[in-house]
Structure 1
């Protein structure tokens, strides 16, 4: 009986040890098999022409859409400029200016007043890739050149279904359109443009300024004032008059480029008053430029190899001038005019002499 009792105790102890080993083994196996979690962060997709986050996480499958908008006094206030990626202000006959308003990442329900095409438009839009051009008419040699350049001609005079005529507007300042109406005319054009600027958040070295004066003419006497609260340059006429859109939004830009260009006149008569077509060589050449961003002025030069290549802006030391994410407004200022800036620490206006 004594041997039997001792044997029973040994068997019980051995069973207990084995059970403990199984429990420990199970715990160890459970820890080893625990899955690891990996977090992948995807960088937001950027709009190619503005460098800001693309709407709904993706760039729209459509080309850049340049539209000609009038800037004569009677044409103001315009509609749609506050939904652009880029605006080019170009000189035309009579000392007035017009806009090539470029849309791509945003939609605008009202754009206008839309006016006629000019030969200078070809050099402007060529750097945007294969594009349609929204406008209303143009003289025969200009339209022929536009078509020869491979630009899809969206003349609202021939596409009345894409035009509207708001109440209270009178000819020739009464033709309007929208991004939806114009893109509907080119459903097979689905390739977004490539970036034409390099965007960075860090501010390049420059001179702090509070404003810049860009004197096209008495019709378009432009001042850009830096607004630290919005982080943009606000646009004014004659120094104090806000340049507002029809919806009340003041025109503003993250970047203002003053690109000095050489202009000539002719050979074609553009209007009944005898005004000659304004021509400007925008590629195969170079010239002075200044870039305004983040409250600073960066002076340098511009150059462009061909009609299809982008305009390159560099400092005097040869470094590429980068843009801030947001809208860019390009002032194609004739070399007969000189821009001026007001430095931030002083109250006096200084003349910016750009090397010609």
Structure 2
């Protein structure tokens, strides 16, 4: 009888361990996918900064100094944005239904908050290979995409992985109310040296160029207009006809705008309404227009491998330098070129 009692006790303990493991698994999966549908539990309910925790280490035990990339919502109801003016590079991507989302890359400085944060796409994984193991902050992803994110050479940071990193703004409606506290993920800005892997070159403008003070790029359900402001040596940005400013009133004003013509094709992923997520190919080659100093420069772009940076050159192979300051790279379908 004593032996039977011990066996029953062991089975009871094993059942408890199994149940606990299932519960943990469900919570983890929920935290990863919540932002994908716009639902999920509130991550936090206040904007007040919290103490800066030590970011989680890499497998080797050390955290490398690399860029922070944040997937930012760009639906009209998600504007104005927070922290967008501090980004070094902003990539504009087409998503389902012809809408757009932004991928903001931070190296020079980290703002107090960034958002609203939304879900990642397959395109992001190839695009971010240009950086050395970046940290990717995103609200979630489709279930089928999560294994690809886990295998990608980056530090994935969805809600729930680092305590206090995300909060939900009480004055905005979900899913456009999720914000990131960057310092919870990255202890300090890595500096501009972390951007050298992009292949971008900065310096004096190339010879020539055509005067062009306004440029509009259209997606099926979104448009961006960049207007040169000579008094500020920057481009004023308008999204869907409305001037882009941050929540604290700062204008979003890049020094360089790159209109990069790329191939887009259907992916193997769909949103909750059945719309296909377009896949934007950023490896390969093609044409581009570089806008700086109120002029437009014809350029060629080339990125042979995912781990390579993207080079922008003239037809003679000379670098097309960017102006010092924020860079916007608008990824648009090659067939849409005017």
Q: Is the structural similarity TM-score above 0.5? A: yes
Aligned to 2:275: 275
Q: Does 1:67 align with 2:80?
A: no
Aligned to 1:260: 261
The counterpart of 2:225, out of the listed 220, 223, 226, is 223
Give, in angstroms, the shift of residue 317 of structure 1: 2.5
For residues 328 and 91 of structure 2, the distance between their equivalents in structure 1, rounded to whole angstroms, comes to 6
2:108–2:192 CA contact under 8 A, matched in 1: no
Give, in angstroms, the shift of residue 181 of structure 1: 1.8
The counterpart of 2:236, out of the listed 218, 234, 237, is 234
What SS class does the counterpart of residue 336 from structure 2 fall into?
A: coil
For residues 160 and 136 of structure 1, the distance between their equivalents in structure 2, rounded to whole angstroms, comes to 14
Measured on the aligned residues, the alpha-carbon RMSD in Å equals 2.0
For residues 195 and 113 of structure 2, the distance between their equivalents in structure 1, rounded to whole angstroms, comes to 26
Q: Does 1:108 align with 2:107?
A: no
The verdict on how the C-alpha distance between 1:224 and 1:155 changes in structure 2, with shifts beyond 3 A counting, is same
**TM-score, scaled to structure 1:** 0.72
For residues 62 and 230 of structure 1, the distance between their equivalents in structure 2, rounded to whole angstroms, comes to 32
Aligned to 2:157: 154
Give, in angstroms, the shift of residue 266 of structure 1: 2.6
Task: Name stretches of at least 5 consecutive residues in structure 2 with no aligned partner.
Answer: 1-63
1:254–1:326 CA contact under 8 A, matched in 2: yes
Q: Which has the larger radius of gyration?
A: 1
The counterpart of 2:99, out of the listed 77, 96, 99, is 96
Deviations, residues 185-209 of structure 1 (Å, cap 9, x unaligned)? xx9x999524131110355421111
The verdict on how the C-alpha distance between 1:194 and 1:225 changes in structure 2, with shifts beyond 3 A counting, is closer
For residues 322 and 281 of structure 1, the distance between their equivalents in structure 2, rounded to whole angstroms, comes to 23
The counterpart of 2:127, out of the listed 96, 104, 124, is 124
Aligned to 1:85: 88
Give, in angstroms, the shift of residue 142 of structure 1: 2.0
Give, in angstroms, the shift of residue 335 of structure 1: 2.3
For residues 184 and 172 of structure 2, the distance between their equivalents in structure 1, rounded to whole angstroms, comes to 20
**TM-score, scaled to structure 2:** 0.76
2:67–2:195 CA contact under 8 A, matched in 1: no
The verdict on how the C-alpha distance between 1:224 and 1:190 changes in structure 2, with shifts beyond 3 A counting, is closer
64-73 or 137-146: bigger deviation = 137-146
Give, in angstroms, the shift of residue 238 of structure 1: 4.1
What SS class does the counterpart of residue 129 from structure 1 fall into?
A: coil
Q: Extract structure 1 runs of 4+ deviating beyond 4 A.
A: 189-192
For residues 215 and 191 of structure 1, the distance between their equivalents in structure 2, rounded to whole angstroms, comes to 31
The verdict on how the C-alpha distance between 1:296 and 1:192 changes in structure 2, with shifts beyond 3 A counting, is closer
The verdict on how the C-alpha distance between 1:118 and 1:238 changes in structure 2, with shifts beyond 3 A counting, is closer
Deviations, residues 97-149 of structure 1 (Å, cap 9, x unaligned)? 11110011112111000011100001211112111100011012322112222
Aligned to 1:326: 325
Give, in angstroms, the shift of residue 157 of structure 1: 4.0
2:89–2:327 CA contact under 8 A, matched in 1: yes
Equivalent residues in 2 for 1:1-356, closer than 5 Å: 62-184=65-187, 193-195=194-196, 196=198, 197-202=200-205, 204-218=207-221, 220-239=222-241, 241-269=242-270, 271-283=271-283, 285-338=284-337, 352=338
Deviations, residues 10-34 of structure 1 (Å, cap 9, x unaligned)? xxxxxxxxxxxxxxxxxxxxxxxxx
Count matched residues: 272
